[in-house]
Structure 1
Amino acid sequence: MKKLVLALTAMAALTAPALAADMAPRYAKAPVAVAPAVSWTGCWISGGGGYGISRTDRYSRDGAAPFGTNVIGSTSGSDGWLATAGVGCDYQFSGRWVVGAFVDGTYSDIKGDHAWRVFGPGATFVGENKMDWSWAVGGRIGYLVNPSFLTYFNAGYTQAHTEAYNLRETVAAFGATGLQVPGRTFDGFFVGSGFEYQLDFLPGLFVKSEGRASWYDRGDSSLTCQFAGTQCAGAGVAPFNLANGGNIDSRRLTVYTAKTELVYRFNWGGPVVAKY
């Protein structure tokens, strides 16, 4: 019996390697590849251009006593191109949400003819009003549709400036009147929305498109003389003495802009824990 057990043990030892060789090897399952995520947290600079239109609501009253009895309302429009640049910082949180703060400045050529009714001569004159610059500071909140595409809303404080312009006759000689509308800076607020997405040919480079509406507080302006003094005169009208009273004009400005910018993010490609 003992010899039989020894014989079977020896046979098992000899056949085990052969059986193992016939069995297919087992491999560990490879882990699923995870697409690298990137962070929107960090700072950026931008620059670009666009187009703007403005609406000016005006209410004029006589500057002489009894003041304000001759109220005339009118609305004028302007349009033109703009160039803009900005800087800001963002913070990504809760996976897909981004908040940030920014400041931007705009040089513009938004202009158009605006009519004025001057009470002294009892005539309507016209001049080219131009908004030449504006700036804004605000915040935004956005949602990541995917790791490289952000939609957002923004809002904040803004200022805009309109240049001084001279009035000219609308009939007859079409000449200068000697009357001037002074330049003015308007304070207001804005709201906007847009989207920003990554360009694949350069890390950190994005393109941003945004629409913005700005409403500015009403402000009074009084006509002045183009030259020194209060006795205004020109080819279009007889001398008009502002010392005896002139127009007081209350203006409210609304501006709509659409712009596209290139954005460079300084830290693009940094790690982030968020999963999409």
Structure 2
Amino acid sequence: MTRLLRLTLSVALGLLVVAAANAADLPVKAPLFKAPAAVEAWGGFYIGAGLGFRASDSSVNVNSATDTTAPAVLQNMFVAVDCFAGFPCVTGRSFNGTAFRISPYLGYNWQIGHTVLGLEGDFAFADQTTTIFGAAYPATPFDRGASTSNSFALKTTWDASIRGRAGYLVNPAVLLYGTAGPSWIHVETTSNCSTLLSADGRCVPGLGFAPASISNSRAQLGYTVGGGIEAMLWPNWIARAEYRFADYGHFSNTDIRAAATGIQTASYDTSVKTHTATFGLAYKFGNANAPGVAALAAYAAAPSTASWSGAYLGVGAGIRANHASSSVDAASFTRTGFSAINFLAGCGDCFLDDHFDTTAARISPYVGYNWQVNPKWLLGLEGDFGIANRQSSVSGRYLPGGIVGGSSGLNDSYSLRTKWDASIRARVGYVVNPAFLAYLTGGAAWMSVEQTSTCDTALKPLFPAPGFIGAEVGNCTPGLLSPPVIKQSTVRSGFTVGGGGEMKLTDNWILRGEYRYADFGTARFSQTRDCAGSATINDPAFGVATINCLGTQSTTNSVRLQSHMATFGIAYRFN
């Protein structure tokens, strides 16, 4: 999906450049810029600050796990839980997340006609942690019990980069550019092993392994690539909207815990990728009386010769970062003639939810109408429809949290999928100069959300090692709970707020860079699975075993959904 996201955004940015360049050559009713074709005003040093968000696309995968306190044939922990005997084991999971990001930057530009070349560095702060509970590592051998005292976390803090830039002036005040170079990010992983006898108690002081908590941190080198739009608002002041992708590869850690009778070792790989959206303002040092700067100053001070009023139709490309979670609210099992069993009763240290953050490429047609109420202020109404289909899953259980449906196997899974979003919004804009509009926007929003609960249907004997016999008994094996797959969907309503900047290329063609936050509240779902009687394993080496199931399992869960959207667009204004 990351490769598709990069390809989509690269193509979209390329189309924006081509469309903008072509639009700049079209005839217009009123030219927007009276100065020479290339105004030498972009060269020199600049310093700025950006505000936006960073969406992490990260994962942790366990390569090996050993425990020398176990019998020799079971010291490989994956063998001990039947992973090598046919049980479909979990070896890792995603640790995606989104955080607000502040990014000071500085650089130098060289202008050659319509071309601007540059070198830039930035240092950003975005503190983001994603934690999974119930396991000291995201793999089947460690997924025992449902205690929050077992956890594994991945944290990213600062990132930095040094990049080259190459841009094209589609008009003397608007620059489209690409950028790429080396990048660094600070990453920290933490494994917490339970010290509670009420949980699995692997790290109970004096009895189990130590240390209970192990952290690893590093500054990881990678690369970043992206592009954006800059607009000269006034002489020496430059606004920007930028998207970048960064890939920091993967790196390995090995954690060792010791007990009186042996050691436990876990080796895992961490992979980190990020998507950043930044909206910034920079000051360019230079002589305010230089010919090019003076021309831009005269341009910025001139009254607008072209109105922003009228209907417009556009298309945007960008990213949508969802911040989603799902939590079990109630879970019970009722057998005919008996009282219902409440799975949540007495669950003081249980975890009930999981995170399902995703980042997806988003294509968003939009349509609207502007009313320019005076030379500086504008009111508008706009609607858009965004397509960004992405799913996030957790394996080892068919509902979120650690209470219901936990087998630790891949055949049990729970997933959330978001497909499309839409909004109808009001806009309030301020005409900073004849070709640049800064605006705020807000209104009603909708998003589709779908959850899928998939329950294991396998029933078979397992032989992990000589002398050891086990069985995989899926909760939804024919004869036990049914249905094995429950898919539910809804459209959530909420609100969205944000803002951006629009740049006129001509009287009719308008570029934009926009950020929006949306909150879609909480969706609630109920599921029922009924028992069908019994299921039987019959294997010559295993024997005969019958599993009975009489009653009904009822559960409800809540899905919480928010999103961050960054969009680059181009629109045609009808007049």
* Same structural fold, with TM-score higher than 0.5 when normalized by the shorter chain: yes
Equivalent residue for 1:129? 416
Aligned pair partner of 2:316 in 24, 35, 48: 48
Residue 19 of structure 1 corresponds to none
Letter of the structure 2 residue corresponding to residue 249 of structure 1: N
**In 1: Cα distance, 2:455 partner to 2:570 partner:** 41
Tell me whether 1:141 sits opposite 2:428 in the alignment. yes
Deviation at 1:164, TM superposition (A): 4.2
Instruction: State the distance in 2 between where 1:35 and 1:74 align.
Output: 55
Give 3-state SS (helix, strand or coil) of 2:441's partner: strand
Q: 1:16-52 CA distances to partner (integer Å, 9 max, x unpaired)? A: xxxxxxxxxxxxxxxxxx8761111111111121111
Q: What's the secondary structure of 2:390's corresponding residue? A: strand
Answering whether residue 568 of structure 2 is matched by residue 264 of structure 1, we say no
Match of 1:209 in 2: 513
Match of 1:187 among 493, 496, 500: 493
C-alpha change, 1:218 and 1:35, in structure 2 (3 Å) is closer
**Which residues in structure 2 correspond to 1:70-219 (within 5 Å)?**
72-114=352-394, 116-117=400-401, 119-123=403-407, 125-167=412-454, 178-200=484-506, 203-219=507-523
What one-letter code is carried by the residue in structure 2 that aligns with 1:110? R
How far residue 75 of structure 1 moved from its aligned partner, in angstroms, is 2.5
Tell whether the 8 Å contact from 2:331 to 2:554 is kept in structure 1 after alignment.
yes
Q: Larger C-alpha radius of gyration, 1 or 2?
A: 1
Residue matched to 1:7: none
- Native 8 Å contact 1:57 1:253 kept in 2: yes
The letter for the 1-side match of 2:441 is: N
Counterpart CA distance in 2 for 1:222 and 1:104 is: 31
Q: CA contact under 8 A between 1:136 and 1:159: conserved in structure 2?
A: yes
CA contact (8 A) 1:181 1:223 kept: no
Is contact 2:405-2:455 (8 Å) kept? no
The CA deviation at 1:130 is 1.8
Q: Could you say what secondary structure the match of 1:163 adopts? A: strand
**What CA distance in whole angstroms lies between the structure 2 residues aligned with 1:239 and 1:261?**
59
Looking at structure 1, the residues matched to 528 and 384 of structure 2 have their Cα atoms a distance apart, in angstroms, of 32
8 Å CA contact 1:79–1:112 kept in 2: the answer is no
* Matches of 2:437 and 2:452, distance apart in 1: 42
Contact 1:182 1:223 in 2 (8 A): no
1:110 CA drift (Å): 3.0
Instruction: Specify every segment of 5 or more residues in structure 2 that has no aligned partner in the other structure, as ranges.
Output: 1-301, 333-339, 457-461, 463-471, 477-483, 535-546
**Contact kept in structure 2, 1:53 and 1:78, CA below 8 Å:** yes
> CA 1:167–1:240 in structure 2 vs 1: closer, same or farther (change >3 Å)?
farther
C-alpha spacing 1:67/1:206, structure 2 compared with 1 (3 Å):
same
Equivalence for 1:248: 556
Using the alignment, how far apart are the partners of 1:144 and 1:186 within structure 2? Answer: 35
2:549 and 2:316 map into 1 onto residues whose CA distance is: 45
Letter in 2 for 1:48: G
- Matched to 2:312, the amino acid is W
The amino acid across from 1:154 in the alignment is T
Tell me which amino acid in the other structure corresponds to 2:365.
Answer: A
SS of aligned partner of 1:39: coil
Alignment size in residue pairs: 220
What residue identity is the alignment partner of 2:485?
A: L
Which stretch shifts more, 77-86 or 118-127? 118-127
Identity %: 21
| 1:221 aligned onto 2:525 | yes
Cα contact 2:331–2:553 (8 A) shared by 1: yes
Helix, strand or coil for the counterpart of 2:356?
Answer: strand
Counterpart of 1:97, as a letter, is W
8 Å CA contact 1:181–1:221 kept in 2: the answer is no
Q: Show CA shifts across 1:103-152 (max 9, x none).
A: 11111123322462474544464334221111100101011111111111
Quote the Cα distance in structure 1 between the aligned partners of 2:364 and 2:307: 26
In structure 2, give the amino acid aligned to 1:57: S
Q: Kindly indicate whether the alpha-carbon contact (under 8 Å) linking 1:63 and 1:245 is maintained by their aligned counterparts in 2.
A: yes
- Provide closer, same or farther for how the CA distance between residues 198 and 36 of structure 1 changes in structure 2, counting only shifts above 3 A: closer
8 Å contact 1:166–1:176 — kept in the other structure?
Answer: no
Q: CA deviation at 1:87?
A: 0.9
Q: Which residue of 2 aligns with 1:23?
A: none
1:81/1:219 Cα in 2 relative to 1: closer, same or farther (>3 Å)? same
Q: Show CA shifts across 1:60-91 (max 9, x none).
A: 13343558646713322111111111111111
Q: TM-score, normalised by structure 1?
A: 0.69
8 Å contact kept, 2:304–2:375: no
Separation (CA, whole Å) in 2 of partners of 1:168 and 1:83: 34
Superposition deviation, residue 58 in structure 1? 2.3
Distance 1:52 1:130 in 2: 13
